[in-house]
């Protein structure tokens, strides 16, 4: 990462995922809204991106800049387990095959997302409460990004 980010890595990745059309901007009131840092109670079908711990790789010798990949978690909630698994698997494919050197602009600030790298496979979490029908799934990843 280079430079000070004006938006969190979760916010940047949420916007990037919406641009892939795997989900939508929550303000658009369309299917599969993608939220950042907080999951709403409705609708049943929602994607939420959270900030998590990243991975520090050390620092450069010439200027002392810390080299770090920021951490994120993508959580999918769906009305049924098959629907939720299919959506998180589609996100997994996008991470593995499509995200590479993408530009994301938020509030006039542009970021370059070099890559989004999964840190493991799909983790089914079960139901969102003991009496709920809704199923939860997560993926953890690290993101290499900087101000463009």
Instruction: Supply the pLDDT for residue 55.
Output: 85
Q: Are 14 and 7 in contact (CB under 8 A)?
A: no
Q: Is the pLDDT of residue 64 over 50?
A: yes
Output the six-digit token pair for 66: 């810390």
Average pLDDT value over all residues in the chain:
93
pLDDT tens, residue by residue, 120-132: 999 999 999 888 8
Question: With bands split at pLDDT 50, 70 and 90, how would you rate the model's confidence at 33?
Answer: very high
Q: Residue 121 belongs to a domain with what CATH number?
A: 3.30.2000
Give the pTM: 0.91
Q: Is 60 helix (H, G, I), strand (E, B) or coil?
A: coil
Tally of domains within the chain: 1
Q: Is the pLDDT of residue 90 over 50?
A: yes
Residue 89: phi, psi to the nearest 5? Answer: -70, -40
Q: Has residue 3 been placed in a domain?
A: no
Q: Is the pLDDT of residue 143 over 50?
A: yes
Of residues 95 and 3, more confidence is placed in 95
Q: Has residue 60 been placed in a domain?
A: yes
Instruction: Supply the pLDDT for residue 1.
Output: 45
Q: Has residue 140 been placed in a domain?
A: yes
Q: Has residue 76 been placed in a domain?
A: yes
List, in sequence order, every residue forming a beta bridge with 147; answer none if it has no partner: 111
Q: Has residue 2 been placed in a domain?
A: no
Instruction: Supply the pLDDT for residue 63.
Output: 79
DSSP 76-120: EEESSHHHHHHHHHHHHHHHHHT-EEEEEEETTEEEEEEEEEESS
Q: Which domain holds residue 87?
A: 9-147
Question: How large is the average pLDDT for residues 19-41?
Answer: 95
Q: Which range, of 55-64, 110-119, 126-135, 137-146, averages the lowest pLDDT?
A: 55-64
Question: How large is the average pLDDT for residues 53-77?
Answer: 84
Q: Has residue 1 been placed in a domain?
A: no
Q: Is the pLDDT of residue 73 over 60?
A: yes
| Location of structure tokens 């953890």 | 140
């Amino acid at each position: 990462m280079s430079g000070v980010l004006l938006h969190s890595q979760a916010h940047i990745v949420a916007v990037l995922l919406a641009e892939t059309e795997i989900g939508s901007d929550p303000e658009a009131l369309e299917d599969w809204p993608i939220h950042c840092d907080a999951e709403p109670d409705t609708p049943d079908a929602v994607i939420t991106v959270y900030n998590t711990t990243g991975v520090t790789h050390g620092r450069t010798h010439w200027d002392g800049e810390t080299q770090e990949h920021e951490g994120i978690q993508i959580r999918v909630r769906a009305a049924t387990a098959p629907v939720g698994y299919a959506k998180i698997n589609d996100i997994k494919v996008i991470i593995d095959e499509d995200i590479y050197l993408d530009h994301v602009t938020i509030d006039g600030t542009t970021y370059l997302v070099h890559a989004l790298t999964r840190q493991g496979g799909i983790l089914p979490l079960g139901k969102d409460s003991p009496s709920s029908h809704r199923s939860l799934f997560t993926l953890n990843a690290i993101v290499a990004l900087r101000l463009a």
